[in-house]
Chains A and B, each alone.
Chain A
């Protein structure tokens, strides 16, 4: 089964504060696929996620990215979100004084409204979101709290997946979705993500550790180092990395290049 291509990254390079972090990334993601991007700290994993979503601190210096066949960089960051690109944040931002429900509803109305769906008033939205809350085993009281303020690590991550659930992206990039989660929270987050998968959407998991991949099984595992993807394999590659670390991959890559 080969799905339609959602994302095509070609020879992408990018800098932050004048330092080149991405040095030529190639990556193709098709509908229905799960890709894991792994690598040591500072290898460029999170940078790739932020560049795709359009963080203003990162400058694309060369290469192309096609999102459903169109140039992704023609779209401003909010337009990318409306077009169906979702980034689950490693460190979600706190917004004191703004209720989570108001924030979620604004996001829903902006993104779903742009796709021609009806905007929901607060009561309609309250009805709508109940099922999504159940998906992540979240208490409705959660909606009345300020966005991410005073949330535990697990609550913040669940809130990210809740946003993914209501925005229904074609491509979700989850940056360290498992960091700071205990085993129960990990199961809930992963369970929620799995229920949101379909033949029409795709997932990129940026992670340090193999353990998330026990719950969300990837079709491809990519190892990124010094701004390049140096090895791609199946789910078994993640297990090897867990076992042996990253050094052997780098050595193998350098030997091949020499």
Chain B
């Protein structure tokens, strides 16, 4: 492939608009130690963080891009990406320039106009609502000592906490994309719940307005001290666009004794057009460490977007009696590819994990569940239950399940159930005979299929997710 073609690929703009001027101050493309020093310098970072980045980078150079995921895409030229001060997403002048299909989606989801503009990349003057919401929000969190800010702010204001925990769950050398992220991450979220505190509200990046451009290498760190609890929401159901095609985020969660983190994601990044052109490559490393006894980490995800999703939110159950949970709905349509699942690593005694995965494939998409349940030698009495269900819509899509089970302790109990079903003409005919059209029927069947996962989502998220799946599948059956 020619370098011009690669450039097009990596920096593929959303197909409409983007005619206004590019903001100035663009650093050259490419990645080397100088680039990393420049990033660290511009962000005025302490020396230890620069070292962290450089070590990650040096390790990254020795690593190879993983080829084991069950996905296909052209090779990425990592020297053809701008890693800092990348051209800001070019703003559209007005909603008239936005893809009408996108606007229709916003309307169906009931997204307010000013949010529509922000999501579609249209210039917005001031978002009054969000500003005031964010201010009230911060005051309430400060009262109980919860820290919730951008990663850059955290490095500046709470360096000791960041230094203690950053990379403690996902080491910089963990995998190719985690190493890349550790070298070049630009921003993200930091959240700290002090001892004994139950966070008074659900935390959402949606309200954290100061890191709108956290970019393609996002870094999130959440620490729950002894006996604390937090529910964290990432993403939103409205489709989200970015001019950067490659996204490689890292999310780290840490729970100490008796603490709990509930992390919910609704991911609807741009998936490319109906012919599979464009779309985000979402290569994410998410991992939680149950460090303390009786602690719990629960991942719930609804993955509907991106051209390619490569993501395994995992739990390392170190503390005795700790609990890991993974509830997932992954939907692929058209040319989307997803290889997603989880890893549950049982280290402590009497640790428990639950995996409920629901994969839905439509169009010519490919959807794989990949999961690892590992019971360590010292994990006396550990238990796992896994259920992986796939649903096919139409006969041109694919579903795969790759469960890996490694048990090194004979007192452990591991259960795995799997099923594959298909929405076929007989089901749709049954609904039709009760007056119900195909789209409404599919929506109802899918929501039934996903019920065990949706009940884990915060209420308003669950309602939106239900609508979203229906929209994503529109027109997928003759």
A contact residues vs B (CB 8 Å cutoff): 53-57, 76-78, 80-82, 86-87, 89, 92-93, 95-98, 102-103, 106-107, 110-111, 114, 146-147, 163, 167
Interface centre among A57, A76, A96 (most CB of B within 10 A): A96
Q: Does B451 belong to the interface (CB within 8 Å)? A: yes
CB atoms of A78 and B435 under 8 A apart: yes
Chain A residues with CB below 8 A from B426, complex form: 93
CB atoms of A98 and B447 under 8 A apart: yes
Could you tell me the distance between the alpha carbons of A167 and B436 in the complex, rounded to whole angstroms? 12
Chain A residues with CB below 8 A from B429, complex form: 53-56, 77
Could you tell me the distance between the alpha carbons of A95 and B423 in the complex, rounded to whole angstroms? 10
- Taking a contact as CB atoms closer than 8 A, the residue among A55, A57, A110 that contacts B436 in the complex is A110
Interface centre among B432, B437, B445 (most CB of A within 10 A): B432
3 cross-chain pairs, A with B, having the tightest CB-CB distances, nearest first: A97-B448, A98-B448, A107-B434
Could you tell me the distance between the alpha carbons of A53 and B425 in the complex, rounded to whole angstroms? 13
Interface centre among B429, B437, B440 (most CB of A within 10 A): B429
A-B contact pairs, 14 of them (CB 8 A): A54-B433, A76-B432, A78-B431, A78-B437, A81-B435, A87-B433, A89-B433, A95-B444, A95-B448, A98-B444, A98-B448, A106-B440, A106-B444, A146-B448
CB atoms of A110 and B433 under 8 A apart: no
Chain A residues with CB below 8 A from B449, complex form: 96-97
Chain A residues with CB below 8 A from B450, complex form: 97
Could you tell me the distance between the alpha carbons of A22 and B425 in the complex, rounded to whole angstroms? 21
Q: Does B7 belong to the interface (CB within 8 Å)? A: no
Given known contacts A89-B430, A103-B444, A106-B444, is B435 in contact with A97 (CB within 8 Å)? no
Smallest Cβ distance from A7 to chain B, in angstroms? 16
CB atoms of A54 and B430 under 8 A apart: no
Given known contacts A55-B429, A92-B430, A93-B430, is B448 in contact with A110 (CB within 8 Å)? no
Can you list, as one digit per residue, whether each of B439-478 has a CB less than 8 Å from chain A (1) or not (0)?
0100011011111100000000000000000000000000
Smallest Cβ distance from B419 to chain A, in angstroms? 9
Could you tell me the distance between the alpha carbons of A75 and B261 in the complex, rounded to whole angstroms? 53
Chain B residues with CB below 8 A from A92, complex form: 430
CB atoms of A163 and B448 under 8 A apart: no
- Taking a contact as CB atoms closer than 8 A, the residue among A54, A56, A81 that contacts B434 in the complex is A81
Cβ-closest chain B residue relative to A166: B434
CB atoms of B444 and A107 under 8 A apart: no
Q: Does B427 belong to the interface (CB within 8 Å)? A: yes
- Taking a contact as CB atoms closer than 8 A, the residue among A55, A86, A95 that contacts B445 in the complex is A95
Could you tell me the distance between the alpha carbons of A96 and B448 in the complex, rounded to whole angstroms? 6
Chain A residues with CB below 8 A from B430, complex form: 89, 92-93
Smallest Cβ distance from A38 to chain B, in angstroms? 23
Chain A residues with CB below 8 A from B425, complex form: 55-57
CB atoms of A86 and B433 under 8 A apart: yes
Cβ-closest chain B residue relative to A173: B433
Cβ-closest chain B residue relative to A98: B448
Interface residues in B, total, Cβ within 8 A = 21
Smallest Cβ distance from B332 to chain A, in angstroms? 20
Smallest Cβ distance from B415 to chain A, in angstroms? 19
CB atoms of A97 and B451 under 8 A apart: yes
Chain A residues with CB below 8 A from B448, complex form: 95-98, 146-147
Q: 9 other contacts beyond A97-B448, A102-B444, A167-B434, with CB at 8 A cut-off?
A: A54-B433, A56-B429, A77-B433, A81-B433, A81-B434, A93-B427, A97-B450, A98-B445, A106-B440
Smallest Cβ distance from B299 to chain A, in angstroms? 21
Chain B residues with CB below 8 A from A77, complex form: 429, 432-433
CB atoms of A114 and B451 under 8 A apart: no
Smallest Cβ distance from B225 to chain A, in angstroms? 38
CB atoms of A163 and B432 under 8 A apart: no
List residues of B (383-440) whose CB comes within 8 Å of A's CBs: 425-427, 429-437, 440
Cβ-closest chain B residue relative to A81: B435
Cβ-closest chain A residue relative to B424: A93
Given known contacts A96-B449, A97-B451, is B433 in contact with A53 (CB within 8 Å)? yes
CB atoms of A78 and B436 under 8 A apart: yes
Could you tell me the distance between the alpha carbons of A251 and B444 in the complex, rounded to whole angstroms? 50
Smallest Cβ distance from A126 to chain B, in angstroms? 18
Smallest Cβ distance from B305 to chain A, in angstroms? 23
Chain B residues with CB below 8 A from A93, complex form: 426-427, 430
Cβ-closest chain A residue relative to B419: A96
Chain B residues with CB below 8 A from A80, complex form: 433
Could you tell me the distance between the alpha carbons of A146 and B449 in the complex, rounded to whole angstroms? 11
Smallest Cβ distance from B465 to chain A, in angstroms? 14
Could you tell me the distance between the alpha carbons of A76 and B425 in the complex, rounded to whole angstroms? 14
Interface centre among A77, A96, A114, A167 (most CB of B within 10 A): A77
Chain B residues with CB below 8 A from A111, complex form: 434-435
CB atoms of B445 and A54 under 8 A apart: no
- Taking a contact as CB atoms closer than 8 A, the residue among A53, A89, A97 that contacts B452 in the complex is A97
- Taking a contact as CB atoms closer than 8 A, the residue among A55, A82, A147 that contacts B435 in the complex is A82
Smallest Cβ distance from B338 to chain A, in angstroms? 21
Cβ-closest chain A residue relative to B438: A78
CB atoms of A107 and B427 under 8 A apart: no
Chain A residues with CB below 8 A from B434, complex form: 81, 103, 106-107, 110-111, 163, 167
Smallest Cβ distance from B16 to chain A, in angstroms? 35
Cβ-closest chain A residue relative to B454: A97
Chain A residues with CB below 8 A from B452, complex form: 97
Could you tell me the distance between the alpha carbons of A78 and B425 in the complex, rounded to whole angstroms? 13
Smallest Cβ distance from A102 to chain B, in angstroms? 7
Given known contacts A56-B425, A92-B430, is B447 in contact with A106 (CB within 8 Å)? no
Can you list, as one digit per residue, whether each of B275-304 has a CB less than 8 Å from chain A (1) or not (0)?
000000000000000000000000000000
- Taking a contact as CB atoms closer than 8 A, the residue among B427, B432, B437 that contacts A95 in the complex is B427
Smallest Cβ distance from A3 to chain B, in angstroms? 24
CB atoms of B432 and A107 under 8 A apart: no
CB atoms of A114 and B435 under 8 A apart: yes
Chain B residues with CB below 8 A from A82, complex form: 435
Could you tell me the distance between the alpha carbons of A77 and B430 in the complex, rounded to whole angstroms? 10
Interface centre among A97, A98, A111, A147 (most CB of B within 10 A): A97
Given known contacts A55-B429, A97-B450, is B436 in contact with A106 (CB within 8 Å)? yes
